[in-house]
């Protein structure tokens, strides 16, 4: 039985390989798709697959032309449409530059793609699998995180992670992820994501930690925690006046 | 003082055998035990510091002997005699040989003795943890933890606006078996789980609930430094526009990272000194 299973999976995987070959065959015989290789690279786990049709639609590329040199060549390279002779005749240095440009360009398109309906769906399944990690804050209870940039232009700041539970910003755990440009996810993504899937907004934890010495709270810290609680109560009062239901998603968890 | 002690120890171990491992340093250097600091033996030898621990840990005497590397003395049930012989702190090679002889005689009981050893090892770890929680509240212990803090051995705060602030280990309970260790960030005053999975199963009571508080009060400079730090916080935006408060994903947690800034807010802050005022 087990043998049969493994046979089947092998047959399946062979078929998969055949399929990718078929797809890639318009540019060359047995080369993997560029996007697949890019996504399979270590540290690229945050990225999702952008449809080639999305990349080749010029309308989606408005204002990106100047972000890289030889823009159309880069686009063709990403969707494996560049013909082989050009690639083979290219000097090594140029090829390296092309690869570098392609990665940057893919990142910038990616930032646009993930706020489209299809892109949001793909990011949704990644979020469900907690591909972006979980919040380490104790009271957030392993809330899955969302990637976010602090700038929409590349070269400023690396990607950060947004926690929908405590609404704060965190650094990625692994240094491989911490070095990805934040512009490849954009400043808008988490907001758009929660607008598209409001049911994913968690109830926010109210519980606080105040340092204690032998059971007695530190005065200054406790005073600040009380003041912050007052701010929260004022917000609650305000929202209730506007008839916002705070017992559902986007409201507050009851204190245990 | 402490260096003297270490010298003594190494001297002793040389006499005993070539490859003699001291229990405390080997425990602290084990993989995943990087949060522990070495408790000096004279702290443990002071009975006052051990008050009431005998009730919390099973096989207290044997565990204590193991920690202090005195376990070879005997298998005798007569604990008092054992303690007396340890009080002199030295015993000869003959004693060891006698013990080996005893073990051979009791060959049938060999297995139970092996089991006993792992139970006592476990008890020793618990006992050491609880002693550790007490030691790190002393002046010397705080100093040693401060050194680890400076070297970022407890990790840094994952929160972006905390700018890599060092964390402090902290327990949520002072009794064993309730909660694992948590990390307190003095900058955002929040609690986090350790980044690395190897620290996720460490017992929280081995650092205790009072440690971060005592640490903050002992090193005033840290509190001042944190107060002077930037108090930025994040707000979610879509194409540069903030999300309406009425929306489900509207901002709800601003208060968590908010600090009084205007005069009005400081007045309000003053009212919070002893109780939660009515809103």
> What confidence score (pLDDT) does residue B95 get?
42
What's the mean pLDDT when you consider all of chain B? 82
- Whether residue A241 lies within 8 A of chain B, CB to CB, comes out as no
**DSSP assignment of B195-228:** SSGGGTTSBGGGT-SSHHHHHHHH-HHHHHHHHH
Q: How many residues would you count in chain B? A: 279
Q: Which of A57-61, A157-161, A248-252, B73-77 has the lowest mean pLDDT?
A: B73-77
Handedness of CA A244, A248, A251, A256 (dihedral sign): positive
Residue A235 has pLDDT above 60, yes or no: yes
Q: What is residue A151's predicted lDDT score, i.e. its pLDDT?
A: 94
Residue B208 has pLDDT above 90, yes or no: yes
Q: What is the pLDDT of residue A5?
A: 46
> How many CB atoms within 10 Å of residue B36?
21
Q: What is the pLDDT of residue B227?
A: 87
ipTM above 0.85, yes or no: no
User: Which residues face A163 on adjacent strands?
Assistant: A168
Residues 54-83 (B) with a CB less than 8 A from some CB of A: none
- Give the tens place of pLDDT for each residue, A103-118: 999 999 999 999 999 9
Measured between CB atoms, does A191 come within 8 Å of chain B? yes
| Contact (CB<8Å) B159/A170 | yes
Q: Does the CB of B277 have a partner CB in chain A at under 8 Å? A: yes
Contacts of B257 in chain A (CB under 8 A): 168
User: Number of Cβ pairs closer than 8 Å across A and B?
Assistant: 151
Residue A7's CB is within 10 A of a number of other CB atoms, namely 10
Cα A135 to Cα A165, A203, B153: the distances in Å are: 9, 14, 21
Q: Is the pLDDT of residue A228 over 90?
A: yes
CB count within 10 Å of CB B27 equals 20
The mean pLDDT of B47-58, rounded to a whole number, is 91
Residues of B in contact with A173 (CB under 8 A): 158, 195
How sure is the predictor about A149, in pLDDT bands with cuts at 50, 70 and 90? Answer: very high
Q: For the segment A184-219, what is each residue's pLDDT rounded down to a tens digit?
A: 999 999 999 999 999 999 999 999 999 999 999 999
Which residue in A111, A95, A97 sits closest to A188, CA to CA?
A: A111
Q: Which of A167, A171, A211 sits opposite B184 (nearest CB)?
A: A211
Determine the average pLDDT of the residues in B13-30: 72
pTM of the model: 0.81
Weakest-pLDDT range from B92-96, B124-128, B229-233, B239-243: B92-96
A133: contact with B, CB 8 A cutoff: no
| CB-based contact, B252 to chain A, within 8 Å | yes
pLDDT at B71 over 60: no
State both tokens at A9.
Answer: 């999976």
Q: Does B244 touch chain A (CB under 8 A)?
A: no
Band of the pLDDT at A256, cuts 50, 70, 90? low
Which of B210, B215, B256, B261 has the most A C-beta neighbours within 10 Å, making it the best mutation to test the interface with A? B256
Choose between B97 and B198: higher pLDDT. B198
Distance, CA of B109 to CA of B196 (rounded, Å):
41
Residue A222: both structure tokens together: 């406790």
With the C-alpha atoms ordered B153, B154, B159, B165, is the resulting torsion angle positive or negative?
negative
Q: Which of A89-98, A115-124, B7-16 has the highest mean pLDDT?
A: A115-124
Name residue, tokens 């916080």: B233
Top mean pLDDT of A74-88, B65-79, B95-109, B212-226 is at B212-226
CA distances from B8 to A118, B2, B64, B90 (A): 71, 10, 19, 12
Rounded Cα distance between A182 and B234, Å, is 15
Q: Has residue A3 got a pLDDT over 80?
A: no
The pLDDT of residue B158 is 96
Mutate to test the interface with B, among A134, A185, A228, A243 (most CBs of B within 10 A): A228
B19 pLDDT band, cuts 50/70/90, is low
Q: Which residues on A lie below 8 Å from B255 (Cβ)?
A: 228-229, 231-232, 235
Residues with Cβ within 8 Å of residue B116, at least 6 apart in sequence:
none
If one compares B46 and A28, the residue with the highest pLDDT of the two is B46
Q: What value does the mean pLDDT take over residues B111-129?
A: 83
């Amino acid at each position: 039985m087990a043998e049969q299973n493994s046979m089947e999976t092998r047959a399946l995987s062979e078929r998969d390989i055949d399929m990718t070959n078929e797809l890639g065959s318009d540019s060359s015989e047995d080369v993997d798709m560029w996007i697949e290789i890019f996504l399979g690279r270590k540290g690229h786990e945050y990225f999702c697959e952008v449809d080639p049709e999305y990349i080749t639609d010029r309308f989606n590329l408005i204002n990106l032309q100047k972000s890289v040199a030889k823009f159309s060549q880069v686009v063709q390279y990403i969707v494996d449409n560049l013909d082989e002779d050009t690639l083979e005749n290219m000097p090594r240095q140029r090829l390296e530059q092309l690869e570098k440009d392609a990665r940057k360009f893919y990142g910038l398109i990616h930032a646009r793609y993930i706020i489209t309906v299809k892109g949001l769906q793909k990011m949704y399944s990644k979020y469900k699998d907690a591909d972006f990690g979980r919040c380490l804050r104790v009271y957030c209870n392993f809330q899955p995180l969302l990637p976010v940039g602090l700038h929409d232009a590349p070269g400023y700041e690396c990607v950060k992670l947004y926690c929908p539970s405590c609404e704060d910003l965190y650094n990625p755990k692994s240094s491989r992820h911490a070095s990805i440009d934040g512009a490849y996810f954009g400043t808008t993504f988490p907001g758009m994501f929660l607008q598209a899937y409001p049911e994913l907004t968690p109830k926010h934890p109210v519980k606080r930690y105040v340092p204690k010495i032998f059971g007695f709270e530190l005065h200054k810290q406790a005073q600040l925690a009380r003041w912050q609680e007052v701010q929260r109560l004022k917000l609650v009062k305000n929202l209730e006046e506007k008839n916002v239901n705070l017992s559902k998603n986007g409201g507050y968890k009851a204190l245990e | 003082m402490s260096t003297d002690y270490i010298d003594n120890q190494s001297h002793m171990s040389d006499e005993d055998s070539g490859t003699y491992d001291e229990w405390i340093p080997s425990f602290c250097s084990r993989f995943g035990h990087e949060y522990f600091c070495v408790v000096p033996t004279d702290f443990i030898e002071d009975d006052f510091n051990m008050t009431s621990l005998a009730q919390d840990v099973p096989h207290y005497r044997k565990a204590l002997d193991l920690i202090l590397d005195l376990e070879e003395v005997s298998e005798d049930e007569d604990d008092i005699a054992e303690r007396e012989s340890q009080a002199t702190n030295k015993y000869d090679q003959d004693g060891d040989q006698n013990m080996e002889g005893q073990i051979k005689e009791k060959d049938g009981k060999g297995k139970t003795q092996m089991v006993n050893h792992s139970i006592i090892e476990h008890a020793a770890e618990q006992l050491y943890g609880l002693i550790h929680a007490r030691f790190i509240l002393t002046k010397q212990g705080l100093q040693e933890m401060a050194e680890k803090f400076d070297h970022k051995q407890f990790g840094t705060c994952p929160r972006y606006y905390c700018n890599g602030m060092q964390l402090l280990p902290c327990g949520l309970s002072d009794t064993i078996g309730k909660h694992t260790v948590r990390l307190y960030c003095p900058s955002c005053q929040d609690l986090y789980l350790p980044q690395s999975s190897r620290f996720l199963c460490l017992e929280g009571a081995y650092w205790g609930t009072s440690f971060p508080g005592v640490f903050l009060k002992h090193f005033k400079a840290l509190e001042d430094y944190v107060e002077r730090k930037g108090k930025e916080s994040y707000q979610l935006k879509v194409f540069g526009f903030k999300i309406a408060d009425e929306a489900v994903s509207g901002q709800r947690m601003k208060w968590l990272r908010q600090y009084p800034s205007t005069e009005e807010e400081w007045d309000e802050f003053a009212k919070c000194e002893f109780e939660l005022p009515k809103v």
